[in-house]
Amino acid sequence: MTDSAPPEAQRREELLATARAMSIARLNTGTAGNVSVRTADGMLITPSGMPPDACCADDMVAVSSDGTPTGRLAPSSEWRFHHDLYSRRPESGAILHAHAPFATALACQRLEIPPFHYMIARFGGNTVRCADYATFGTQALSDNILAAMEDRSACLMANHGMLVFGRNLANALALAIEFETLCEQYWRTRQLGEPVLLSDAEMAEVVERFRWYGKPQAR
List Cα–Cα distances, 140 to 34, 36, 78, 146, 151, in angstroms. 18, 20, 12, 10, 19
CA distance 65 to 43: 7
> Which of 8, 14, 78, 184 is labelled catalytic?
78
Return the closest-CA partner of residue 105 out of 180, 54, 55. Answer: 180
Catalytic (active site) residue 78 = yes
Residue 52 is classified by DSSP as G
CA distance 209 to 203: 10
Q: Is 139 exposed, middle or buried (0-12, 13-18, 19+ CB in 10 A)?
A: exposed
- Region of 151 on the Ramachandran plot (φ > 0 left; ψ -120 to 50 alpha; else beta): left
Q: Are 37 and 94 in contact (CB under 8 A)?
A: yes
- Catalogue the active-site residues: 78
